[in-house]
């Protein structure tokens, strides 16, 4: 997790990932309807991994709490866009606080509101949590996730509780999601090369020397945490408009570990690592799923027994960590391989 | 009322055993072994699947199997990750925990396995008008005995001395002749033994074992070792105990609102961490490198 990260603006560092994500979305998304849906979910996960990269990658502090920002983003965007008669009459919503029923807006405004509210929530909780570091910070962020999940899972006055909020309108155009992802890449890249981003990485490298140089660890971490909360909230909002339903369970342990492992496998210290990790984990999962269902992959049938997919994914994850514990890209940003440049 | 107090103490004892298992391994290699929960799960499976044997034999078998799995973890995975950033090791242990859950699901099936383990230990004793569940009494007795045994082992034996020395400063301990591989393996075996006892107590209370059986208690034990003070075994045991007592107390006090007991527990944890970031038993403000 240590070392790495860019300091100077470079076109290939920024546009390499943008071109790759656009090309992949374009080609994979066009092959079939099911792959298009997978692409859409992957773009949502990527947004979450970017959010984690901003905070976890730059500060070196592990956060399990980002699921709560995604949950809140998803909840707000879902509740603001679900049809009013569903909120008023669906069985899952019969205990809903009536003042929440008439609130309604369009998808894009809802996404913006959800990201902003998540950022505010992150700033509020971060102002307390960022005093901690190391394992205490990890556990404290986990406690935050626990509180948010427990409240939303049980309180049927504010939402669907343990059930699902149905009929959330979906974004059927993959390119809108892609556009959001590209905007996020640009924001994260600019943050990473900014003064704050660089100082934050300095605190990651040496928590004793950084304050000696006049860096306020609390302040830079809080800024990153807030930005990270904004992106996590946006990712939750995107997810709810791809899934078409809001369910609290979607943003708990499994979501947290999946997105964290995407970040760590790719290499948490760089944006390129975040993208590569998301692509690799999603692609392995998808290929294994196709093998399990005995579908052809480029015309070749490879069959694996039903249920072995989950074992293989987990084993692959551990093997990758053993192979390269600082991630596939090892802290480097995207660069065109030397033999192409001549 | 007395039953509630006993419940709280027994849950606290149980969690402190689980926390101690985590704390032992953390002490020697700065690893938060999230896959400890899967040790508890395999122990529970072994107990449930060997009910045809006498209880003692079944328990011995369980301890052997669990310690063996713990050793495999250390040889196959953690030995290769020594010296890596603790955060990466934590994430690797999440991965390992998922691997084991999937393997259990594959071998034992996703549906829970259940069998009555030690039927004589479930039930109620009447005690001058009070009725008290036997399982809570057994838990308290067992927890006290094991904690005392662990206390003896850590404070009075050579292995314990080495464990404490390694927790304080691993590099210096090695320089002074502590054999690191052997010590770390022993810590894993001990944590496997503790996991077996935790599973034994859990299975008496709830004999329905699924692949995720040990997950919940591990999360709470993990919270426990951090609020207790992760750098000492005493802190780990204390933290686990506190979490168990708080949780059990909340379940009693909140009544119908007990669905929110985790919320209040985690809020308490947050407050403890904010007041004492290094844990309750930490000495002053030692700055931990991230």
ipTM summary value: 0.86
Q: What phi and psi, each to the nearest 5 degrees, are found at residue B16?
A: -70, -30
d(CA A268, CA B73): 25
Q: What phi and psi, each to the nearest 5 degrees, are found at residue A297?
A: -110, 110
- Say yes or no for a CB contact (<8 Å) between A146 and B92: no
pLDDT tops 50 at residue B134: yes
d(CA B271, CA B246): 13
- Helix extents (H) in A194-216: 195-205, 209-212
State the nearest Cα–Cα gap between B219 and chain A, in angstroms. 10
Q: Which of A6-10, A196-200, A297-301, B137-141 is the most confident on average?
A: A196-200
d(CA B4, CA A186): 56
Q: Which chain B residue has the Cα nearest residue A201?
A: B290
Q: What is the pLDDT of residue B71?
A: 95
Which residues, 6 or more positions from B52, have their beta carbon under 8 angstroms from its beta carbon?
none
pLDDT band at A5 (very low <50, low <70, confident <90, very high): low
Q: Least CB-CB distance to A139: which of B102, B222, B267?
A: B222
d(CA B80, CA B253): 47
Instruction: List the structure tokens of B127.
Output: 């005690």
Of chain A residues 281-300, which have a CB less than 8 A from chain B? Answer: none
In terms of C-beta density within 10 A (0-12 exposed, 13-18 middle, 19 or more buried), how is residue B45 classed?
buried
Torsion of CA B235, B206, B103, B37, to 10 degrees: 0
State the nearest Cα–Cα gap between B148 and chain A, in angstroms. 28
Cα–chain center distance at A272: 14
Which residues, 6 or more positions from A148, have their beta carbon under 8 angstroms from its beta carbon?
A67, A68, A71, A72
Q: What phi and psi, each to the nearest 5 degrees, are found at residue A296?
A: -75, 140
- A48-54 mean pLDDT: 96
- The percentage of chain A sitting over the pLDDT mark of 70, rounded to a whole number, equals 96
CB atoms within 10 A of CB B172: 11
Grouping H, G, I as helix, E, B as strand and the rest as coil, residue A246 is strand
- Say yes or no for a CB contact (<8 Å) between B273 and A139: yes
pTM of the model: 0.89
- Say yes or no for a CB contact (<8 Å) between A136 and B278: yes
Q: Which chain A residue has the Cα nearest residue B222?
A: A139
Return the CA Rg of chain A.
Answer: 20
**Residue at token pair 């959800």:** A114
Chain A contact set for B222 (CB, 8 A): 139
- A132 Cβ under 8 Å from any chain B Cβ: yes
- The percentage of chain B sitting over the pLDDT mark of 90, rounded to a whole number, equals 36
Chains A, B: CB contacts under 8 A, how many?
A: 134
Chain A contact set for B277 (CB, 8 A): 131-133, 136
Which residues, 6 or more positions from A58, have their beta carbon under 8 angstroms from its beta carbon?
A5, A192, A197, A200, A201, A204, A224
pLDDT tops 80 at residue B130: no
Chain B contact set for A124 (CB, 8 A): none
Chain A contact set for B91 (CB, 8 A): 62, 260-261, 264, 321
pLDDT in tens, A83-107: 888 877 776 677 778 778 788 888 9
Q: Are A43 and A174 in contact (CB under 8 A)?
A: yes
Q: Are B27 and B158 in contact (CB under 8 A)?
A: no
Q: What is the pLDDT of residue B164?
A: 83
Cα–chain center distance at A17: 16
Q: What is the pLDDT of residue A306?
A: 73
State the nearest Cα–Cα gap between B285 and chain A, in angstroms. 11
Of chain B residues 229-288, which have a CB less than 8 A from chain A? Answer: 230, 259-260, 262-263, 265-267, 269-270, 273-274, 277-279, 287-288
pLDDT tops 70 at residue A3: no
Of chain A residues 160-219, which have a CB less than 8 A from chain B? Answer: 203-204, 206-208
- Say yes or no for a CB contact (<8 Å) between B267 and A143: yes
Question: Which neighbouring-strand residues pair with A159?
Answer: none
pLDDT band at A78 (very low <50, low <70, confident <90, very high): very high
CA nearest neighbour of A329 among A56, A57, A38: A57
- Say yes or no for a CB contact (<8 Å) between B274 and A60: no
Helices A253-266 and A271-292 pack at an angle, to 10 degrees, of 120
CA distances from B285 to A88, B209, B280, B289 (A): 53, 42, 11, 12
- Say yes or no for a CB contact (<8 Å) between A147 and B84: no
Domain boundaries, chain B: 2-275
Return the CA Rg of chain B.
Answer: 19
| H or E stretch at A306 | none
Q: Least CB-CB distance to B266: which of A146, A208, A318?
A: A146
Torsion of CA B187, B45, B19, B6, to 10 degrees: -140
- Say yes or no for a CB contact (<8 Å) between B290 and A61: yes
Q: For chain A, what is the mean pLDDT?
A: 87
**Residue at token pair 């930490």:** B282
Q: What phi and psi, each to the nearest 5 degrees, are found at residue B232?
A: -130, 150
pLDDT in tens, B268-283: 989 988 888 877 877 6
**Residue at token pair 């208690």:** B217
d(CA A188, CA B88): 23
pLDDT tops 70 at residue B284: no
Largest pairwise CA distance in chain A: 67
CA nearest neighbour of A48 among A221, A274, A224, A226: A274
CA nearest neighbour of B170 among A218, B246, B162: B162
Kindly report the length of chain B. Answer: 290
Chain A contact set for B279 (CB, 8 A): 136
Number of helices (H) and strands (E), helices first, in chain B? 11, 4
**Residue at token pair 């991965």:** B95
pLDDT band at B20 (very low <50, low <70, confident <90, very high): very high
CB atoms within 10 A of CB B120: 8
Q: Least CB-CB distance to A132: which of B85, B102, B277?
A: B277
- Say yes or no for a CB contact (<8 Å) between B279 and A136: yes
Q: What is the pLDDT of residue A2?
A: 45
Compute the C-alpha angle B255/B258/B263, nearest 5°: 140
d(CA B224, CA B239): 4
Least confident range from A326-335, B27-36, B51-60: namely: A326-335
- B72 Cβ under 8 Å from any chain A Cβ: no
State the nearest Cα–Cα gap between A318 and chain B, in angstroms. 6
Q: Are A294 and A306 in contact (CB under 8 A)?
A: no
Q: Are A77 and A110 in contact (CB under 8 A)?
A: yes
Q: Which of A233-247, A263-277, B198-212 is the most confident on average?
A: A233-247
CATH fold of B2-275: ABC transporter involved in vitamin B12 uptake, BtuC (1.10.3470)
| H or E stretch at B28 | helix B2-29
- B152 Cβ under 8 Å from any chain A Cβ: no
Chain A contact set for B267 (CB, 8 A): 143, 147
Q: What phi and psi, each to the nearest 5 degrees, are found at residue A305?
A: -65, 150
Helices A33-52 and A174-193 pack at an angle, to 10 degrees, of 20
Of chain A residues 260-279, which have a CB less than 8 A from chain B? Answer: 260-261, 264
What is the per-residue DSSP string for B110-144?
A: SSPEE----GGGSSEEEETTEEEEHHHHHHHHHHH
- A254 Cβ under 8 Å from any chain B Cβ: no
State the nearest Cα–Cα gap between A151 and chain B, in angstroms. 7
d(CA B31, CA B82): 9
Q: Which chain B residue has the Cα nearest residue A147?
A: B263
User: DSSP assignment, residue B114?
Assistant: E
d(CA A26, CA A43): 12
- A249 Cβ under 8 Å from any chain B Cβ: no
**Which among B266, B282, B285, B288 is the top mutation candidate for probing chain A, defined by the most A β-carbons within 10 Å of its own β-carbon?**
B266
- A143 Cβ under 8 Å from any chain B Cβ: yes
State the nearest Cα–Cα gap between A175 and chain B, in angstroms. 33
């Amino acid at each position: 997790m240590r070392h790495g990260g860019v300091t100077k603006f470079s076109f290939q560092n920024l546009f390499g990932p943008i071109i790759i994500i656009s090309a992949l979305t374009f080609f994979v998304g066009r092959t079939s309807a099911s792959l298009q849906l997978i692409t859409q979910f992957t773009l949502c996960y990527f947004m979450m991994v970017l959010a984690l990269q901003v905070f976890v990658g730059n500060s070196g502090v592990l956060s399990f709490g980002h699921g709560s920002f995604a949950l809140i983003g998803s909840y707000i965007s879902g509740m603001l866009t679900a049809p009013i008669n569903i909120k008023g009459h669906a069985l899952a919503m019969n205990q809903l606080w009536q003042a929440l029923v008439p609130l309604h807006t369009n998808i894009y405004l809802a996404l913006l509101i959800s990201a902003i509210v998540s950022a505010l929530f992150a700033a509020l909780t971060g102002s307390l949590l960022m005093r901690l570091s190391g394992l205490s910070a990890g556990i404290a962020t986990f406690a935050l996730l626990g509180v948010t999940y427990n409240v939303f899972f049980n309180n049927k006055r504010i939402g669907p509780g343990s059930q699902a909020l149905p009929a959330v309108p979906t974004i059927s155009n993959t390119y809108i999601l892609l556009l959001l992802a590209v905007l996020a890449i640009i924001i994260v890249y600019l943050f990473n090369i900014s003064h704050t981003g660089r100082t934050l990485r300095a605190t990651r490298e040496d928590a004793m020397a950084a304050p000696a140089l006049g860096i306020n660890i609390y302040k830079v971490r809080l800024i990153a945490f807030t930005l990270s909360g904004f992106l996590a909230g946006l990712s939750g909002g995107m997810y709810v408009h791809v899934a078409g339903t809001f369910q609290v369970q979607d943003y708990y342990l499994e979501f947290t570990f999946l997105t964290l492992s995407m970040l760590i496998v790719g290499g948490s210290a760089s944006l390129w690592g975040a993208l590569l990790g998301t692509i690799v984990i999603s692609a392995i999962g998808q290929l294994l799923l196709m093998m399990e269902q005995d579908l052809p992959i480029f015309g070749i049938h490879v069959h694996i027994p039903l249920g072995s997919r989950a074992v293989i994914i987990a084993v692959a994850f551990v093997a990758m960590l053993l192979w390269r514990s600082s991630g596939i890209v090892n802290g480097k940003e995207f660069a065109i391989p030397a033999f192409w440049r001549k | 009322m007395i039953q509630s107090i006993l419940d709280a103490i027994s849950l606290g004892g149980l969690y402190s055993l689980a926390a101690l298992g985590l704390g032992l391994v953390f002490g020697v290699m700065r690893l938060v072994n999230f896959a400890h929960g899967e040790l508890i799960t395999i122990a529970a499976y072994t107990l449930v699947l060997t009910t045809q044997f006498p209880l003692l034999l079944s328990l011995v078998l369980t301890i052997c199997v669990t310690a063996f799995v713990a050793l495999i973890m250390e040889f196959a995975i953690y030995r290769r990750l020594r010296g890596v950033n603790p955060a990466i090791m934590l994430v690797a242990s999440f991965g390992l925990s998922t691997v084991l859950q999937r393997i259990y699901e594959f071998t034992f099936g996703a549906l829970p396995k259940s069998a009555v383990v030690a039927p004589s230990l479930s039930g109620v004793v009447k005690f001058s008008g009070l009725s008290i569940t036997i399982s809570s009494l057994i838990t308290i007795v067992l927890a006290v005995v094991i904690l005392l045994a662990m206390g003896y082992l850590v404070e009075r034996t050579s292995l314990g001395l080495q464990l404490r020395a390694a927790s304080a400063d691993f590099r210096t301990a090695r320089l002074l002749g502590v054999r690191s591989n052997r010590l770390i393996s022993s810590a894993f075996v001990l944590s496997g033994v503790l996991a077996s006892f935790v599973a034994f107590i859990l299975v008496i209370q709830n004999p329905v074992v699924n692949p995720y059986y040990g997950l919940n208690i591990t999360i709470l034990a993990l919270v426990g070792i951090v609020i207790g003070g992760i750098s000492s075994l005493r802190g780990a045991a204390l933290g686990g105990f506190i979490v168990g007592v708080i949780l059990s107390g909340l379940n009693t006090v909140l009544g119908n609102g007990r669905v929110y007991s985790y919320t209040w527990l985690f809020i308490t944890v947050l407050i403890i961490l904010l007041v004492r970031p290094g844990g309750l038993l930490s000495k002053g403000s030692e700055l931990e490198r991230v």
